[in-house]
Structure 1
């Protein structure tokens, strides 16, 4: 889509990709264990992959929260961290989006530390 007005810091005339919870989950699932990505980097890479100049920051944040909450629910139901989308690889523990999640920032820190300690 081409923006006809400025939107969320993206200028008029920019081609913008609008993802989905599935594209966000797929991107995160492909980040190697023990590595992290910024949300900005994720948006830039998704835009390039989809032949756009930008990825919508608003829908990305919404869908990222959806993906994280599904993973948290799955973890609460007994799934292992290897069986869920590792949202902690993109969401910083003290970020705005982390503060909107149903978990404490220490949960994100916990999974990041576990992955750094895992030699696999």
Structure 2
């Protein structure tokens, strides 16, 4: 059976801080790296106030600091941003109010690579960003 995005969001993950195995993106081998769970990413995004945006790199930095690491895994964050976004869309489909879902559009824009992979497309993201006065 295929798990829903909401199931993936709520599956307890193995998170923690470990040494970065290799240099990649803006991460240097040996740095302490947070490998977050989808729920940790969701909780953090929910804490971003309405009308405030944070790009993925800033999100990774803030998550790392919050959890006592130097960096956050760039690969894991991409997976989890998609999970958080798709789970929020499932909540909307089930009748949740927009105000009650995770405001992933405060991190993802129409230019973010993850946005192109979302099942519901970039138009929803652009509309919500515009509604909050953020650049689409």
TM-score by length of 2: 0.80
The unaligned stretches of length 5 or more in structure 2 are 1-17
State whether residues 88 and 111 of structure 1, in contact with CA within 8 Å, keep that contact through their aligned partners in structure 2: yes
Higher strand share: 2
> How far is the alpha carbon of 1:99 from its aligned partner?
0.3
| 3-state SS, counterpart of residue 26 of structure 1 | helix
State whether residues 8 and 58 of structure 1, in contact with CA within 8 Å, keep that contact through their aligned partners in structure 2: no
> How many equivalent residue pairs?
117
- 1:79-111 CA distances to partner (integer Å, 9 max, x unpaired)? 111111011110111221000101121100111
- Could you tell me which residue of structure 2 aligns to residue 86 of structure 1? 103
1:95 counterpart = 2:136: no
From 86, 99, 103, the equivalent of 1:69 is 86
1:44 counterpart = 2:69: no
- The root-mean-square deviation of aligned C-alpha atoms, in Å, is 1.6
Distance 2:120 2:57 in 1: 22
State whether residues 109 and 129 of structure 2, in contact with CA within 8 Å, keep that contact through their aligned partners in structure 1: no
TM-score by length of 1: 0.89
